[in-house]
Amino acid sequence: MALQGKKLINNPDDVVTEFIEGLVETYPGLQYLDGFPQIKVVLRADVERGSYDKVAVISGGGSGHEPAHAGFVGPGMLTAAVSGDVFASPPVDSILAAIRAVTGPMGCLLIVKNYTGDRLNFGLAAEQAKSEGYKMEMVIVGDDCALPPPRGIAGRRGLAGTILVHKVAGAAADAGLSLAEVAAEAKHASEVVGTMGVALSVCTLPGQVTSDRLGPRQMELGLGIHGEPGVAVVELQTVDVVVEHVLKQILSQETQYLPITRGCNAVLLVNGLGATPIMELMIAARKAVPELQLVYGIAVDRVYTGTLMTSLDMAGLSITIMKSDESVLKRLDAPTKAPAWPVGSEGKRPPAKFPVPLPPSPSMKDDEILAPSQELSKQRCILEAAIEASATAIINVKDSLNEWDSKVGDGDCGTTMYRGATAILEDMKKRYPMDDAAGTINEIGATIRRVMGGTSGILYDILCKAAYASLKQSSTVTANEWADALEASVAAVSKYGGASAGYRTMLDALIPASAVLKQRLEAGDDPVTAFVASSEAASAGAESTKQMQAKAGRSSYIAPDLLASIPDPGAMAAAAWYRAAALAVKNKLHGSKS
């Protein structure tokens, strides 16, 4: 039976902000951007905006991995770290705020763990920053060695080896190297590092129940850092056996994930996942070092043991191996004041917070957003009913989405979608130009981008932006134009997210919905009847994901037998809001022609 997890927290929704507040109060060398609730950025207190004369190095991702990433901000490592909500990629606006706050004429390097949401959000932020005149580079770290290739479009996950890449890049930047040189050293480090994790327990998200996936005598091999299931569940083994297995996997000559052979030198990192005593980590290190030297003929230059990149309160560890040479060791040995490396912090305590203004979106003006409509048109009534019904449907399925996602992902799909739905209902009252269908869809995308974060947030924003581009030329939108907009949205999500039909994503609901809507309208069906029929196709498509093997997202890391009979949460969410919208339109029009 799953039990409510015990946490020393206040409101589960405030844990990330309150963690950052405690961090900057503890370490006087750190500050955070204040004034925007969704922007959670920690930066060096000694870097003045716009005048920093070295390459800025920024990383980040979902929270829950503390002390990563904010704990590695400081001279010699990161210039800033961007935090999303727990296990959710930070939104684009947060990343842009960090870039603007610390980047000077030398430019900025983004170091990103290989997760779809992180790649999309950091990538979009980099493109926007380039358009503003900033020099930008981005390095993706995928150091997971637990899963055999190929990994489809998802690729290898970014794990604790990312910390070593932070150190190499940060030291190179601190030495005064150019952006191209810093990026080259970071990329090289990312290509010679490998990691594998082992868990004894499942982590508990703030405010949620603890999964009972692992029995009392079981352990999980090859897990990620978001609570998702690993490669295999096995009987509990001694730490010596575990270390032997992990090293064998990382150094496998079949996968050749690392260019390390007998006679090479390496750095070893033994990392705790959140609830592992230092005693157990040291026991693992005690086995790993002679195993590398005597069995594999690898000289161990440095050993780092501690809790650096966690998965909340998970019991377990990960082992990272990085091929080393004189240049890598020079960067790893360079001094740093990043508190979690760890080193001591010195200096006078500056104010913990200071505000940095965030430029408004160039596509919107306040008077345009808040301008009252001239009349409550028919289109407005239908649009309001559809949006309200869709958001309410997502709110109602929150718990089911979380339950499915806890079995095939990181357990927060319902919470993330709920956050977007409630914000849409709130913004609809005061922001949306409801007489302008295209403008309203564009504003919905802005709302989602602001509050949701993660992969789903950026993909839904892309969906809305594509629909807006398709609809913006029409004042009163016809059924055929809605169908064209849906088709354009599906194509955009597929293009940028990399998925298509059968990949076990939300597109498995939206693709059949789009196809049926087009077919019915072309056949001359009543638009409302066509819309309802397409919603049934969306529901059927979502249900069909129970029999699919995942080819995208975090589910692609999970064994197929663990996915059987469990629908994709993203597809079920899409089907829920789409069907609710269709029924709302049908009820509003009472079967009349649209």
Let me know if 590 is a catalytic residue. Answer: no
Q: Which residues contact 242 (CB under 8 A, 6 or more apart)?
A: 198, 219, 284
Is 227 marked as binding a ligand? no
Is 472 marked as binding a ligand? no
Is 62 marked as binding a ligand? yes
End-to-end CA distance of the chain: 50
Q: Are 306 and 282 in contact (CB under 8 A)?
A: no
DSSP 475-503: SS--HHHHHHHHHHHHHHHHHHH---TTS
Is 40 marked as binding a ligand? no
Length of the chain: 594
Distance in angstroms (rounded) separating the CA atoms of residues 513 and 282: 55
Distance in angstroms (rounded) separating the CA atoms of residues 336 and 74: 7
Catalytic residue among 69, 166, 226, 245: 226
Q: Are 106 and 74 in contact (CB under 8 A)?
A: no
Angle ∠(463,468,470) on CA atoms, nearest 5: 100
Phi-psi category of residue 505: left, alpha or beta, with phi > 0 → left and psi -120 to 50 → alpha: beta
Helix (H, G, I), strand (E, B) or coil at 524: coil
Q: Are 233 and 201 in contact (CB under 8 A)?
A: no
Question: Given the DSSP bridges, would you call strands 41-44 and 30-34 parallel, antiparallel or unpaired?
Answer: antiparallel
DSSP 250-292: HT-TTT--S---TT-EEEEEEEE-BS--HHHHHHHHHHHHHII
Cα within 13 Å of Cα(149), Cβ side: 12
Residue among 584, 532, 549, 492 nearest 154 (CA): 549
- Tokens, residue 520: 């019915």
Is 65 marked as binding a ligand? yes
Angle ∠(231,236,239) on CA atoms, nearest 5: 95
Distance in angstroms (rounded) separating the CA atoms of residues 168 and 413: 34
State how far the alpha carbon of 509 is from the alpha carbons of 296, 353, 410, 543, in Å. 49, 44, 21, 8
Residue that the structure tokens 């405690």 belong to: 22
Helix (H, G, I), strand (E, B) or coil at 353: strand
State how far the alpha carbon of 333 is from the alpha carbons of 109, 172, 315, 509, in Å. 21, 11, 29, 51
Residue among 456, 437, 430 nearest 372 (CA): 430
Is 263 marked as binding a ligand? no
Distance in angstroms (rounded) separating the CA atoms of residues 275 and 203: 9
Residue among 168, 230, 158, 169 nearest 195 (CA): 158
Q: Are 135 and 106 in contact (CB under 8 A)?
A: yes
- Write out the catalytic residue numbers: 226
Q: Could you tell me which residues are annotated as the binding site for substrate?
A: 62-65, 113, 118
Please report, in range form, the residues annotated as the binding site. Answer: 62-65, 113, 118
